[in-house]
Amino acid sequence: MKMRSTSNFPAVLGIVLVIANYAVAQEHPAVTAQANTVYVGVEGKYEAAPDTALIQFNLSVQEETAQAAYQHASKEAEQIRQILQANGVEPKTANLGFFSIQPVFDWKTAKRKLVAYQVTTDVTLKLKDFAKVGPITQQLADANVSETQTVNYALDNMDDAKSKAVEDAYRRARASADTLAHASGRALGELSYASVDTFENPRPLPRMSRPMAMRAEAAPAPTEEFTPQNVTVTAHVNALFNLK
């Protein structure tokens, strides 16, 4: 906290309070302290249990011809559809990307030789029922549909969570500024300037490779009897208030 006054202008009082670490402060534009103002930088947060599990994996096949590769990929997609239906999940809830077909060359020879065609796509699935995460990921691994899978727990309405984190940060900022203003014998006025940054910390599970999943066939689901950690959204607010 820095306070400054002059004998020639006793009514002019400039108060600056900065509550922020150096790294965060460097990310925000410099605000020149003005007379009769108080400047605060505060962090707020919103924390809630995740309501959505996000399963992401890729589908990749390779065949000698483009047509054979495409047909193979179609069969894999059908297998994914059957796994979802067997677990009571509508296939249309999964987001299947466009099929990408690429030629595969043998670079070891002097004249590169076309040896195969590879078809790939990405699949994203949102689940509200966490009990289905384990069975679906296990069945996808057993079916050799994908080499790797990633599971993240998140909030479906992240924008609302960010707004609540900003509200918490602003309340803290105004409370800090009000406390300082009263301590100096002044009253807090209206907001003159503000800047906001928000951050979130998704909770990922490690990637599960196919060999690891196969060895864990008899083991319980990784999430069984556990509660996913809360999702925390943090907001940093810099605010400049006038003093009365």
Tabulate helix, strand, coil % of the chain (nearest 5).
Answer: 30, 40, 30
**Owner of token pair 């209206």:** 190
User: Angle, nearest 10°, between helix axes 133-142 and 66-86?
Assistant: 150
Say what the pLDDT of residue 113 is: 85
DSSP class of 228:
P
| C-alpha to C-alpha distance for 89 and 53, rounded to whole angstroms | 13
pTM score above 0.85: no
Confidence of residue 199 (pLDDT cuts 50, 70, 90): confident
- Could you give the domains of the chain? 2-47+158-199+234-243 (no CATH), 52-154 (3.30.70.2970)
| C-alpha to C-alpha distance for 64 and 24, rounded to whole angstroms | 53
What tens digit of pLDDT does each residue of 52-84 get? 999 999 999 999 999 999 999 999 999 999 999
Between strands 52-63 and 148-154, the pairing is antiparallel
3-state secondary structure of 128: coil
Which residue type occupies 172? Answer: R
Query: Which of 33-37, 88-92, 215-219 is the least confident region?
Result: 215-219
What tens digit of pLDDT does each residue of 165-180 get? 999 999 999 999 999 9
Dihedral class, residue 36 (left if φ above 0, else alpha if ψ from -120 to 50, else beta): left
Q: 204 is written with which tokens?
A: 């990922």
Query: In sequence order, what E strands does the chain have?
Result: 2-4, 14-16, 37-48, 52-63, 94-96, 100-106, 113-127, 148-154, 188-200, 203-209, 231-243
Residues linked to residue 218 through DSSP beta bridges, in sequence order:
none
3-state secondary structure of 108: coil
Q: Which residues contact 162 (CB under 8 A, 6 or more apart)?
A: 46, 198, 200, 233, 235
- Which helix (DSSP H) or strand (DSSP E) does residue 143 occupy? none
Question: Does residue 221 register a pLDDT over 60?
Answer: no
| C-alpha to C-alpha distance for 238 and 150, rounded to whole angstroms | 36
The rounded mean pLDDT for the chain is 80
DSSP class of 62:
E
Confidence of residue 164 (pLDDT cuts 50, 70, 90): very high
Confidence of residue 23 (pLDDT cuts 50, 70, 90): very low
| C-alpha to C-alpha distance for 188 and 190, rounded to whole angstroms | 7
110 phi/psi in degrees, rounded to 5: -60, -45
Question: Does residue 137 register a pLDDT over 70?
Answer: yes
